[in-house]
Amino acid sequence: MSFPTPRRRFLQAGAAVAATAALAVVGEGTIFEANNPEVVSIEIPLSRLPQSWDGFRIAQLSDLHYDDYFSIVPIRKAVDLVNGLQPDLVVVTGDFVTSPPSKRRSLQIRAAKAIEPCAQLVAQMRARFGILASLGNHDVATDGAYITEVLQSHGIPVLRNRSVSFERNGERIWVSGLDDILEGKFDLKLALKDIPQAEPVVLLVHEPDYAGYVKNVDLQLSGHSHGGQIRFPLIGAPVLPVMGREYPRGLRRLGPLTLYTNVGIGTIWVPMRLNCPPEVTLITLRTTAGYRRG
């Protein structure tokens, strides 16, 4: 299976034009919007979810893109929001750091160093079942092994083609994670190999458009697109990344699979958002019988 390479980095081409137009319309409000994450709360029914896990709450963050000047502000606020929500589990679906446009190895190694202060912030979040992570294309393009090592040294397991289970009253739920689709060596079959057919699976995969290839999974949680980051009325997002164009934001149902795409916390290339504020998603899992519409 192959996908187009992401050499035209997200918002690198055409972003300056969009950002300039946005500033002309709303001025400093665009930058301030990027600093203020919002909580998006949704209930998601899963047909295979055991009764013991009805009401299980997952806080999802994505695309932190840590830097010392811009994204650190919304990341700190997001950490406080999550701790106020008191979720059962926190998941972070990739792009902790930002890969430089240049392929020079020295620049990539330098960019990967941002994972140290980023991991210190992420590790401050509290949840009954801890924090789990998957990697994004920027993480793997810089130094995926190093980023994995640092996160895990801070008590944050990174799921690269593997799964973990949680058990309650003899009933289990699984959380699986793939290596990055664009830059890594992803293997869904390997990630799911030990999971019994009847047990529910939540899959962490950075790129949302991989959902079209997913089988035997109940819920996919993704990021990558930033929701476009800059969204104009009536037009939407003028720029979206490879593997983030079909399902760039929000909730989708694709046959037996439910997909949620988080619009991210940080920004890339330009430190602003328009009509697309950073997001902490609070997902409450429901059995089909326990799901309350409206």
DSSP string of 56-115? -EEEEE------TTTTHHHHHHHHHHHHHH--SEEEEES--S---SS--HHHHHHHHTTH
- 91 φ, ψ to 5°? -125, 145
Res 160: pLDDT: 98
186 three-class SS:
coil
The residue that leads in pLDDT, 71 or 22, is 71
Res 234: pLDDT: 85
Does residue 174 carry a pLDDT above 60? yes
Does residue 154 carry a pLDDT above 60? yes
Res 2: pLDDT: 58
Give the residue extent of every domain in the chain. 15-287
Average pLDDT over residues 112-120: 98
State the Cα angle at 21 between 17 and 24, rounded to 5°: 140
Neighbours of 170 (CB within 10 A): 7
Res 204: pLDDT: 98
> How many residues are listed for the chain in this entry?
294
Does residue 141 carry a pLDDT above 60? yes
Q: Does domain 15-287 have CATH number 3.60.21.10?
A: yes
Res 14: pLDDT: 42
Q: Please write the tens of the pLDDT for every residue from 33-76.
A: 899 999 999 999 999 999 999 999 999 999 999 999 999 999 99
Res 67: pLDDT: 95
What whole-number distance in Å separates Cα of residue 96 and Cα of residue 89?
Answer: 18
Res 102: pLDDT: 84
Taking every pair of Cα atoms in the chain, the longest distance, rounded to a whole number of angstroms, is 58
What whole-number distance in Å separates Cα of residue 220 and Cα of residue 214?
Answer: 9
The terminus-to-terminus CA distance of the chain in angstroms comes to 40
Amino acid at 222: S
For the chain, give the percent of residues with pLDDT over 70: 87
Does residue 197 carry a pLDDT above 80? yes
> Structure tokens of 176?
């699986």
Res 201: pLDDT: 98
Nearest to 37 by CA among 208, 270, 264: 264
Does residue 223 carry a pLDDT above 50? yes
> Structure tokens of 104?
């020079």
What residues are paired with 253 via a beta bridge? 258
Cβ within 8 Å of residue 47, ≥6 positions away: 218, 256, 288
Q: Report the DSSP pairing between strands 57-61 and 279-287.
A: antiparallel
> Structure tokens of 12?
């690198």
**130: which DSSP letter?**
-
Binning pLDDT at 50, 70 and 90, where does residue 3 land?
Answer: low
What whole-number distance in Å separates Cα of residue 247 and Cα of residue 245?
Answer: 6
